[in-house]
Amino acid sequence: MMEVLEGGIQTTIQDFPGRQGLLDQGICPAGPFDNLAFRLANLLVGNAPGDAALEVTAGNFKATFNQDAVIAVTGANMEPRLDGEPIDLWRSYRVQPGQTLALSTVRGPGFRSYVAVSGGFDVPAYLGSRATYVPGAIGGFEGRALKKGDEVPLGASVGDLDELAGRAVKADVIPDYSSEWVLEAVPGPQTAPDYWTWEDYDHFFTHPWKLDRNSNRMGYRLEPHAWQWARKSGGVAGGHPSNILDNGYAVGAVNISGDQPIILCVDGPTLGGFVCAAGVAYGDMWNLVQ
């Protein structure tokens, strides 16, 4: 078992790839935002890459372990400490009953850390996944972020704990987090020349964008832009040219709501009535969310 001493800003249990095949029923996948760091954390402790682990947003998380285990912390640097002693990111450590893991406020580039424990977290699956979807209060631990006093059950470790401890990710595999990213994206499905002008298209793919602070696991907002648009209105869908008849949305789609581009994320809407003029490549989404 793991007892939470401080929940931090938002710490949730996630698994990868979350809930699959349910977008047509209005169920988003949820799951880890940075699935690369998440999977590496699990591999370090001997778990399957998609097993349930913690996503810590911005830091200030603390918990005590009440059983023998192996842990690993990956992702953004939150200066992890075990019983007050610094530990390295991207490396596995043996923990004994009574030991405490603490993560401080995030330091430098990056925004999310991942904590994997050998055996994973033994919480009930909902619609085939243990991933927490906070807006819908489903999955994870009681469908919510962790808070002080929570006692979270751990699964049984697979493998010898002493052999699992001391593993490390190779230096050339560890992501180099930055405050500036170049993301791969593709146009469409609603793009130039039918919805955007070619000038709009060129602006989107060549302009350096700034992330709006009003961003979360549902969507990452970019700074607004006065698009020219290739049509005067949305016709029967609405008066603004960004309006379309409701259609399905994909994770990574760049939703144009009026003047503001919003990159739809793992907790985002599954359908709606705005143009999706481009899509961030799935393999680059982990870059975006850090």
Q: What is the pLDDT of residues 184-194, one digit of tens each?
A: 999 999 999 99
Domain parsing of the chain, residue ranges: 2-164, 185-289
pLDDT above 90: residue 108? no
What is the model's pLDDT at position 157? 86
What is the model's pLDDT at position 158? 82
For residue 104, give both structure tokens. Answer: 């401080």
What is the model's pLDDT at position 107? 87
What is the model's pLDDT at position 23? 95
What is the model's pLDDT at position 129? 98
Per-residue confidence at 35, pLDDT binned at 50, 70, 90? very high
Share of the chain above pLDDT 70, in %: 100
pLDDT above 90: residue 289? no
The residues near 32 (Cβ < 8 Å, ≥ 6 apart) are: 14, 15, 16, 18, 38, 53, 55, 114, 131, 266
Other CB atoms closer than 10 Å to residue 82's CB: what's the count? 17
What is the model's pLDDT at position 119? 97
Query: Distances in Å between the alpha carbon of 194 and those of 186, 256, 257, 262?
Result: 16, 14, 17, 20
The residues near 17 (Cβ < 8 Å, ≥ 6 apart) are: 29, 31, 35, 50
41-56 pLDDT, tens per residue? 999 999 999 999 999 9
pLDDT above 90: residue 205? yes
Tell the CATH topology of 185-289. Answer: Cyclophilin (2.40.100)
What is the model's pLDDT at position 144? 98
Q: What is the mean pLDDT of residues 106-110?
A: 89
Can you give the pTM of this predicted structure?
0.95
123-163 pLDDT, tens per residue? 999 999 999 999 999 999 999 999 999 999 999 988 899 99
The residues near 24 (Cβ < 8 Å, ≥ 6 apart) are: 248, 270
Query: Distances in Å between the alpha carbon of 259 and those of 7, 189, 214, 223?
Result: 36, 18, 15, 9
What is the model's pLDDT at position 52? 99
* Strand ranges for the chain from DSSP E: 2-6, 10-14, 53-57, 59-65, 69-75, 81-82, 85-86, 92-95, 100-105, 112-117, 151-152, 185-187, 219-221, 243-248, 253-257, 260-264, 271-280
Share the mean pLDDT of the chain.
96
